[in-house]
A and B are shown apart, each in its own frame.
Chain A
């Protein structure tokens, strides 16, 4: 049985500067010092071997080794922070959209588009029918599994609807039959999401399960972007998870969750929704008001409770984390349904900030557990 309020990571961490530097230029003393500092904090074995590697001249040919090291650092980062369910901070993925899209046939990258503030992502256009090229997360998962000290691993994978929504859609728009432009655009989105689910995400999930994955998180931050298309997100999830036998959760963030209902009640295989709440919270705990949706619609699945704001450096105190958990637990009256996580991936925070945030999340969960039990 899980402990009460198990803690879990939810997405990516920032790439360490030594990794980025090694890909671009020579690693300097500053980066080597960072390796030593974090390697010691995280008790990474074989640190000398990595330092020796980083001192070599041409590292462009050694990318795989370097990524393995970064993955190991990511695993130990989450383990050392104390989380119950871990991955590797997605160290081998450039980003949650670009990484999979580069490994799917039918897309062409066009350039950078703003997500928010000064943050941009590389956006692609779907220019042909999408096809499976390779199972792009299995090697990464096998590595995590082989190196993790903790047994509980959750594999995040970007979902089909989000990949469709975040792409320009040239091919399927030509295929769509609706007369009116707006309807054709929407029909095309549904076609692309369903093809991605069937041809790409489903096979990827199957490959992960075949390698022993027991818990997979499907990231669908775009799920409510177009309220009228929530049914596409639901259909794509159901298609991608056909015949799959493992624990499945869906992560959605920075969204109006009211649009999800009642459609998501049809997602029978999704045992957990993990949502962002802390970003919108205040002293009155008003950030957590959408928990009422679970009650209103009789949705009794688990909830991954976002208790850490990922867009500010302010470190939440353990007491604040505790209060957020207790508020949710009391409101839901079923504390065992709660898993504790940051709102989203901590990739926009530095490692020191992310580490302190996660450690306090762990401490807060412990405080809540003590109080509840």
Chain B
């Protein structure tokens, strides 16, 4: 799974109570921990290969950075791509300096380690951050992309002792508003800055858009795997070039309540296996599941794991 997972009704109610000052911060944190533990258990029970903490505290993918980095101010509510969901636009007012352990307190490293499973860090990608921010400091976007990447590299170094196994860079903008040719080198360098800073497996997660907008150039990025939204991308794209990375196959639609059928997923995955090779494919939702109510999101994950079980010869 990637990105932000939906909160339970109980947690939503708790955040409302907190905002109305009916409960305190400690009590609210208990609700967050409880929901996170429940989510970790849910993933563990389904035997997912790599788990996340669901980023339940993150009100949008940039939020730890807008709240904690001194060179970033919180800006206006702004639409998040083509969703009925809004984020606080980061306003860059000073040089981005990443020596603050920004994600301290934003990732449940203790609960993740206690789950004794492989776990994943989810981060906003530098290009999407630069594109979706307002720049009041840098001369050009390339500088933002690179400085933000350095900041992420520092964060990964800080988090590595907590023993994660991999990380996602969420980069919807790469496929929705692809960089122009002159910008591409800086974006690639930025990703390189991040991935060479750590020994963790890296995944460049694209979504909301068609991978063909940056294909085959994306194959040159220094990452181990690329996540593809197959509700926006035609499978035939995989025929055009040899797909040299691991493929995060976004085959569950996290923006649609219609429940996928296990048989359809199995059949689709087999088409992908034919093109990429079964050992190089990881089945996943096409984006964050937070666009669905929690019950629907969980059902979709169950369908996904059932498809995985069948594809693995019934072994989960």
Residues of A within 8 A of B (CB): 110-118, 120, 123, 125, 165-166, 168-170, 173, 180-182, 185, 222, 224-227, 254-256, 279-280, 311
B294:A222 contact, CB within 8 angstroms: no
Given contacts A118-B59, A185-B256, A225-B82, 14 further A-B pairs with CB under 8 A are: A111-B9, A112-B7, A112-B12, A112-B293, A114-B7, A116-B60, A120-B12, A123-B293, A169-B256, A182-B210, A182-B231, A222-B84, A254-B77, A256-B79
5 A–B contact pairs at CB < 8 A? Answer: A110-B292, A113-B85, A116-B59, A116-B88, A118-B19
| CB closest residue in chain A, given B136 | A282
Among the listed B18, B79, B295, which residue makes an inter-chain contact with A110, where contact means beta carbons less than 8 Å apart?
A: B295
Please, how many angstroms separate the alpha-carbon atoms of A112 and B15 in the complex?
13
Q: How many chain B residues have a CB neighbour from A under 8 Å?
A: 35
Does any Cβ of A come within 8 Å of B246's Cβ?
Answer: no
Instruction: Mark out the residues of chain B between 260 and 316 whose CB falls within 8 Å of any chain A CB in the assembled complex.
Output: 290-296
Q: Give A227 Cβ to nearest chain B Cβ, in Å.
A: 8
A116 contacts B77, CB within 8 Å? yes
Contact of B93 with A by CB under 8 A: no
Could you give, for residues 71-93 of chain B, a 1 whenever the CB lies within 8 Å of some chain A CB and a 0 otherwise?
00000111100111111100000
Q: Which of A113, A115, A169, A225 gathers the greatest number of chain B CB atoms within 10 Å?
A: A113
Q: Which 5 A-B pairs have the closest CB atoms?
A: A111-B293, A168-B257, A116-B86, A118-B15, A125-B257
Is B85 touching A111 in the complex (CB atoms < 8 A)?
no
A101 to chain B, nearest CB (A): 14
What secondary structure prevails in chain A residues at the interface with B? mixed
Work out how many contacts link A and B, with CB atoms closer than 8 A.
Answer: 87
**Is B234 on the interface with A (CB-CB < 8 A)?**
yes
CA distance A42 to B65 in the complex (A): 43
Which residues of B pack against A, CB within 8 Å? 6-7, 9, 12, 15-16, 18-19, 59-60, 76-79, 82-88, 210, 231-232, 234, 256-258, 290-296
In contact, A113 and B291 (Cβ under 8 angstroms) = yes
**Option from B9, B85, B87, B258 in Cβ contact (under 8 Å) with A170:** B258
CA of A123 to CA of B294, assembled, Å: 12
Chain A residue at minimum C-beta to C-beta distance from B19: A118
Q: Is the CB of B257 within 8 A of A114?
A: no
Q: Which of B16, B210, B290 contacts A114 (CB 8 A)?
A: B290
Q: A111-B293, A112-B293, A180-B234 are in contact. Are A117 and B257 (CB under 8 A)?
A: no
A279 surroundings in chain B (CB, below 8 A)? 76-77
CA distance A280 to B76 in the complex (A): 6
A222 to B86, CA, bound (A): 12
- Residue in contact with B83 in the complex, picked from A168, A225, A227, CB distance below 8 Å: A225
* Chain B residues, CB < 8 A from A117: 59, 88
Chain B proximity of A307: nearest CB distance (Å): 15
From residue B257, how far is it (CB to closest CB) to chain A in Å?
A: 4
- Cβ of A284 to closest chain B Cβ, rounded Å: 12
Chain A residues with CB under 8 Å of B18's CB are 118
Could you tell me the distance between the alpha carbons of A305 and B64 in the complex, rounded to whole angstroms?
33
Q: Are B293 and A110 in contact (CB under 8 A)?
A: yes
A166 x B84 contact (CB < 8 A) = yes
A166 to B76, CA, bound (A): 21
Name the A residues within 8 Å of B85 (CB-CB). Answer: 113-116
Q: Which residues of B contact A120 (CB under 8 A)?
A: 7, 12
In the bound complex, CA of A118 to CA of B294 (Å): 15
Cβ–Cβ contact A115 & B86, under 8 A? yes
A342 shortest CB reach to chain B, Å = 14
What B residues does A182 contact at CB under 8 A? Answer: 210, 231-232
Measured between C-beta atoms, what is the minimum distance from A195 to chain B in Å?
18
